[in-house]
């Protein structure tokens, strides 16, 4: 197989992975075509619904996976480089995250602190305990009822919609072809339209349809997540706030133009119907207790989407000649995308021996593809 550019590459799925891969592969001189069943005017990707947090320590502490931690810390550096080359000067914020619990739930905060410290001896982790005054100094608009908090670094957050818009604009200039409203099946070196049975041949097909690939990937499931998008000028936050609670963890992430994303529920269901009242109550009451001035915020959107996940909730990149399947980023889309993009490009570049060790998954070579036809 010809391994030097230009290769003819088809990408199924125009979510975060699809767009990042289209960008990187077209920069390398390959000819890229993207297929997506969604209409061009409505972004239904999980990447669009997501809050765009890069929180390797907090995420690793809640899943106690130190591989996620290490991959995630590298990922923040990669996002810095990507934002520079996309000329996004103000889309990546490095202020860390603030983890809080109400006084009656302080055991949750202690558990979280304990879990963070149990992750790994790592000099780059900076977890600082804060008292009431230190919290107020860091985030003056928060409720004064918080007595203890944790400031966690290095963690960051991305203005993800700004990023997605910029990627779309760049892809348009790089002659990447988008076929929207086109539902496809993938196979080695080929894409077939489900509606017309038309088959198109490519040097490589990359399947990154997220939860949209469930019909072909038997092991993949969707995990429902719900978010609220709020607008208020009364509050400004500098960093994501995570609220620990005995039964759920909720966060609020500041976005440009006085917007905030509050998320996210996590339900083992593939239901994509609108947000439930119960979930709205949980999200709304959590954000209200973080800062009562949120009470007059306007609810702009209530997002619902499916996180694509395999059984272990970790990403998989599997390959066979002519086909790469990259999926299962679960709740770590932005956090782990750099790693998955790197692996995928490495395969397309002919480096099939690339070992996927960073997430403790078995090596890519000799690994059975997970798709079912």
Residues that bind other proteins (CB under 8 A): 62-65, 111, 115, 118, 214, 221-222, 224, 246-247, 267-271, 273, 276, 278-279, 309, 311-314
| CB of residue 287 to other proteins, shortest distance in Å | 17
HSE-up of residue 246 (Cα within 13 Å, Cβ side):
4
Residue placing its CB nearer to other proteins in the complex, 141 or 214: 214
- 217 in Cβ contact with 224 (< 8 Å): no
Strands 97-101 and 241-244: parallel
- 179 in Cβ contact with 299 (< 8 Å): no
Cα pseudo-dihedral 168, 170, 174, 176, rounded to 10: -10
| CB of residue 111 to other proteins, shortest distance in Å | 8
What the block records as the tokens of 95 is 């202020």
| CB of residue 180 to other proteins, shortest distance in Å | 26
Residue placing its CB nearer to other proteins in the complex, 186 or 220: 220
Under 8 Å CB-to-CB from 181, ≥6 apart: which residues? 37, 38, 39, 40
Residue placing its CB nearer to other proteins in the complex, 166 or 221: 221
Residue placing its CB nearer to other proteins in the complex, 92 or 217: 217
Angle at 94 between CA 90 and CA 97, to 5 degrees: 130
Residue placing its CB nearer to other proteins in the complex, 85 or 278: 278
| CB of residue 227 to other proteins, shortest distance in Å | 16
Beta strands in the chain (DSSP E): 8-12, 31-35, 53-54, 92-93, 97-101, 126-131, 148-153, 156-158, 177-179, 184-187, 190-193, 199-201, 204-207, 221-231, 241-244, 249-255, 259-263, 298-309, 316-320, 323-327
Residue placing its CB nearer to other proteins in the complex, 141 or 245: 245
Task: Measure CA 137 to chain center.
Answer: 30
| CB of residue 360 to other proteins, shortest distance in Å | 12
| CB of residue 270 to other proteins, shortest distance in Å | 5
């Amino acid at each position: 197989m010809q391994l030097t550019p230009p290769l003819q590459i088809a990408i199924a799925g125009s979510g975060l992975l699809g767009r990042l891969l289209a960008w990187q592969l077209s920069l390398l001189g390959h000819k890229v075509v993207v297929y997506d069943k969604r209409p061009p005017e409505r972004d239904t990707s999980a990447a669009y619904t997501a809050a765009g947090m890069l929180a390797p320590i907090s995420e690793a502490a809640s899943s106690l996976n130190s591989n996620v931690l290490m991959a995630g810390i590298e990922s923040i550096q990669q996002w810095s480089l990507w934002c520079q080359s996309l000329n996004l000067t103000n889309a990546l914020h490095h202020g860390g995250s603030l983890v809080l619990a109400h006084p009656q739930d302080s055991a949750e905060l202690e558990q979280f602190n304990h879990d963070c410290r149990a992750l790994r001896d790592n000099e780059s982790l900076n977890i600082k305990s804060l008292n009431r005054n230190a919290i107020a100094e860091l985030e003056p608009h928060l409720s004064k009822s918080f007595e203890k908090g944790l400031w966690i670094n290095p963690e960051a957050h991305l203005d993800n919609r700004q990023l997605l818009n910029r990627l779309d604009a760049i892809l348009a200039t790089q002659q990447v072809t988008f076929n929207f409203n086109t539902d496809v099946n993938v196979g080695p070196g080929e894409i077939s339209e489900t509606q017309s049975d038309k088959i198109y041949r490519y040097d490589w097909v990359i399947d990154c349809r997220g939860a949209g690939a469930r019909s072909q990937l038997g092991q993949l499931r969707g995990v429902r997540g719900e978010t609220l998008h709020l607008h208020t000028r009364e509050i400004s936050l500098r960093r994501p706030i995570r609220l620990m609670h005995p039964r759920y963890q909720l966060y609020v992430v500041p976005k440009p133009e006085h917007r905030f994303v509050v998320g996210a529920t996590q339900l083992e269901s593939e239901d994509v119907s609108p947000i439930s009242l119960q979930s709205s109550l949980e999200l709304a009451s959590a954000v209200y207790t973080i800062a009562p001035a949120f009470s007059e915020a306007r609810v702009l959107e209530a997002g619902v989407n499916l996180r694509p996940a395999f059984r272990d909730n970790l990403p998989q990149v599997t390959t066979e000649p002519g086909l790469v399947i990259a999926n299962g980023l679960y709740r770590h889309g932005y956090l782990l995308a750099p790693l998955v993009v790197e692996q995928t490009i490495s395969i397309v570049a002919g480096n099939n021996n690339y070992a996927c060790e960073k997430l403790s998954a078995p090596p890519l070579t000799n690994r059975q593809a997970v798709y079912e036809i």
